[in-house]
Structure 1
Amino acid sequence: MISIILAAGKATRMGATTQPKVCLDVGGLPFVVRAIETYKRCGIEHHIVVIGDRADEVAAAVCRYFPSTIFAYQAEQRGTGHAARCGAAVLEAFGYSGDVMIVVGDKLVTEAVVREQIELFHSSGADLCFMVGPKDSFPHSGRVVEDEDGAVLGVVEVSEIKRACLIEKLLDEGRKGALSADRIRSETIAAFSTERKASRAVPILWTLLEQRSDIGPDDLTRCFTRKETILEFERADGKRRQFRVSGLEQQTSVANLSVYMFRTDALFYGLGRLASLNAQGEEYLTDVVGILASARTDDGSPRFRVVPYNLKEPTDGLTFNTPEELEAIRECLKRKAEG
């Protein structure tokens, strides 16, 4: 097995830092270096690190400890799926056909958990085995959608749920008359945390908000359709299942934790079918889960086997997006070392 580590993002929620996010110190080592050490102890000897923002600094930090690391460059931050394709291009160039682990660079997983996931990946005959955990412990992670039998159908990012909820709310309220543009603007920014993300999530509406003081029902129906509040997945028996996106929070219990183990044919199949038709206009690696789960052979049978690995202890698979979350990881490691 070889790893592809996604470390190209800008980490805007960390604020100004003297080092790239994945190079911040955790227990005396850069975060990404500590992660690679864990993977090597689990028998994953070769690593491709996808770099982009502050690329030279990330490469220097990794090479100080692992000089034989291969790097792939993501020139534009166009999402985790695009970053994974940058890394997978290296595999294709070398003609690699073994197993692949893809993981984000700000993920810290214990050795025991990585070994358990590898074991499940092999013993289950999975084409994709991906880590999941209780959504209450990982509120910002994509929601795993399952059918009534517990089979995985796909993953929906929190930003997509927020967008669908916003659209549904606006269309419902818009039936009663015009809505204040200022109010819509503030609610949209609150949903997506920044004005930039809000404008990317609802670009047509955002243009109207800059031009009008009120947004009428006809304006809203030109911006959105009810179809945008519905997701459709294909089950293993070939039947299609629809979900109201706004109801997914009540219908899902686990979140995707962004540790994926692939057979190469499944990886290339999924990456080759990614699109960027989502709230942020990016390619989401999480979409590969649904792509593989719904893929069929010519006779209609499932083409790939998708298996979730359930993380039992949330502190065994941590990530961070803010200084406070990083400090919590440091404290967690300190407690484990002491106890």
Structure 2
Amino acid sequence: MSNYAIILAAGKGTRMKSDLPKVLHKVSGISMLEHVFRSVSALNPAQTVTIVGHQSEMVEEVLAGQTNFALQKEQLGTGHAVRMAEEVLGNLEGQTLVIAGDTPLITGESLKSLVDFHINHKNVATILTAEADNPFGYGRVVRNADGEVLKIVEQKDASDFEQQIKEINTGTYVFDNRRLFEALKEITTDNAQGEYYLTDVIGIFRQAGEKVGAYMLRNFEESLGVNDRYALSIAENVMRNRINKGHMLNGVTFQNPATTSIDIDVEIAGDVELEGQVTLRGKTKLETGVYVSAGSYLQDSHIGANSRITHSMIEESTIGQNVTVGPYAHIRPDSSLADEVHVGNFVEVKGSCLGAGTKAGHLTYIGNSEVGQNVNFGAGTITVNYDGQSKYGTTIGDGVFIGSNSTLVAPLTIGDHALLAAGSTITSDVPEDGLALGRSRQVNKDGYAVRFPHHPARKEN
């Protein structure tokens, strides 16, 4: 029979104290909702319905084209939320997973095990449970002497005895799809919250003599639901440790994994070495042999094999093989450094392509430029690409030597193997093999310095 899934993502999440819907807060680079959706996808559901409500347009944008959506106009409880999926799923045969969109740590492997348990035990409903050292705030799973599930009781409705139970409801379930929607018609708001509890269908199934089971998670951490910023930080820490461990087992060296933050979609090849305080964001990819030193920040960038990044920031750019960047360099979006390029300390590259073997050792700005191979930028070189209204490009050919403290005023083309004298301001194109001098003429005034108070001859008088 087919698998189906319902993801609950309608709540506002008032304890987050945020204008952003709770399920859209990020853990390791993607929203909690996306984490849940990816885990649910491990089941290959024939249909998935995401229940939206608060700021529904923002939530739908995240999963557009990947799921059905159903709107819960009023938040009247989890049972009411699941009812909203009836139009899509109500008449289908199979089993349906119901999961909250604020549980980013649950894995696809655990959900597969839950569904397999449900099918193998021929349950009408199966609850995903966990054993908590401190179960306060969670719904408790109440069993009989034979270990069969009798009901789930929420914290506010639990007796003193029931509050001592350590087996808690994670808020994730698998149901026989048809029976789920039949039972939802029978639940009421007769409880402390005045809401339609999804958990009340468990009691309905028991009264009908139907089999209800529970599958306990091996790892309690997976059960974490995020309701506030503190819980969000715990989820981030758990996910970071999980991600880092995976990379280490795949051959990546971490000098200090506790201080290294890597998003879930980052790809790292074997024999990469990361110092502490490294941050890798988005869809960054590191090829084999890359070394990234402490304090570096890389976002949505591809770093070629055996390149070395030292105390630098790289954003949305491509770095070739055997490239050295830094220390304290900034590679801004839409830049490309070919093989063997060297970009040194306090160099900024923005929206530019640097050809193989090109070097900019220090104190240089390269913006909106196409730079050839084996170009040498002297210290203090600036490409002047902005006149206050528009951006202009600079094209520099192969083998060009640019003397220190040169200013290249775009739009400008420098031909192959040209030489720009140090201290020049270049405003016109330079031909191939040409020498360009753009300095002001130097004038010496013999003996003139004696007129100034700082001169030793003046001080003696």
TM normalised by structure 1 equals 0.68
1:153 is matched with 150
Which one of the candidate residues 84, 87, 107 is aligned to 1:86?
Answer: 84
**Superposition deviation, residue 101 in structure 1:** 0.7
1:107 is matched with 103
Which one of the candidate residues 2, 11, 20 is aligned to 2:4?
Answer: 2
Instruction: Note the alpha carbon deviations across 1:242-292, whole angstroms, 9 max, x for none.
Output: xxx232123x23111111111123212321111001111100111111211
**Superposition deviation, residue 68 in structure 1:** 3.8
The answer to whether the Cα contact below 8 Å between 1:5 and 1:104 also exists between their aligned partners in 2 is yes
Letter in 2 for 1:155: I
1:213 is matched with none
Within 1, Cα distance between the matches of 2:186 and 2:13?
26
2:236 is matched with 330
**Superposition deviation, residue 135 in structure 1:** 3.5
2:121 is matched with 124
Q: CA RMSD in A?
A: 1.5
Within 2, Cα distance between the matches of 1:29 and 1:128?
31
The answer to whether the Cα contact below 8 Å between 1:135 and 1:143 also exists between their aligned partners in 2 is no
Please list, as runs of the form range in 1=range in 2, the aligned pairs for 1:116-195 lying within 5 A after superposition. 116-161=113-158
2:203 is matched with 290
Unaligned stretches of 5+ in structure 1? Answer: 162-244, 296-301
Letter in 1 for 2:244: E
Matched, 1:247 2:161: yes
Letter in 2 for 1:272: K
Within 2, Cα distance between the matches of 1:149 and 1:137?
24
Please list, as runs of the form range in 1=range in 2, the aligned pairs for 1:225-304 lying within 5 A after superposition. 245-250=159-164, 252-295=165-208, 302=209, 304=210
Q: Secondary structure at the match of 1:319?
A: coil
Within 1, Cα distance between the matches of 2:87 and 2:201?
16
Letter in 2 for 1:325: A
Aligned residues: 242
Q: Secondary structure at the match of 2:204?
A: helix
1:34 is matched with 35
Instruction: Note the alpha carbon deviations across 1:201-240, whole angstroms, 9 max, x for none.
Output: xxxxxxxxxxxxxxxxxxxxxxxxxxxxxxxxxxxxxxxx
Letter in 2 for 1:310: M
Q: Secondary structure at the match of 1:258?
A: strand
Letter in 2 for 1:337: I
**Superposition deviation, residue 88 in structure 1:** 2.5
The answer to whether the Cα contact below 8 Å between 1:107 and 1:317 also exists between their aligned partners in 2 is yes
**Superposition deviation, residue 138 in structure 1:** 4.4
**Superposition deviation, residue 45 in structure 1:** 4.7
2:377 is matched with none
2:307 is matched with none
Q: Secondary structure at the match of 1:259?
A: strand
Higher relative contact order, structure no. (Cα contacts within 8 Å, ≥ 6 residues apart): 1
| Residues 89 and 246 (structure 1), Cα distance of their counterparts in 2 relative to 1, 3 Å cut | farther
Please list, as runs of the form range in 1=range in 2, the aligned pairs for 1:218-229 lying within 5 A after superposition. none
Unaligned stretches of 5+ in structure 2? Answer: 246-461
2:15 is matched with 13
The answer to whether the Cα contact below 8 Å between 1:133 and 1:254 also exists between their aligned partners in 2 is yes
Within 2, Cα distance between the matches of 1:121 and 1:290?
17
The answer to whether the Cα contact below 8 Å between 2:135 and 2:166 also exists between their aligned partners in 1 is no
Instruction: Note the alpha carbon deviations across 1:58-93, whole angstroms, 9 max, x for none.
Output: 111121xxx14111111111000100111123213x
**Superposition deviation, residue 322 in structure 1:** 0.8
| Higher percent of residues as helix | 1
- Whichever of the two has the greater Rg, that structure is 2
Within 2, Cα distance between the matches of 1:310 and 1:133?
5
Instruction: Note the alpha carbon deviations across 1:187-210, whole angstroms, 9 max, x for none.
Output: xxxxxxxxxxxxxxxxxxxxxxxx
The answer to whether the Cα contact below 8 Å between 1:121 and 1:261 also exists between their aligned partners in 2 is yes
Matched, 1:312 2:310: no
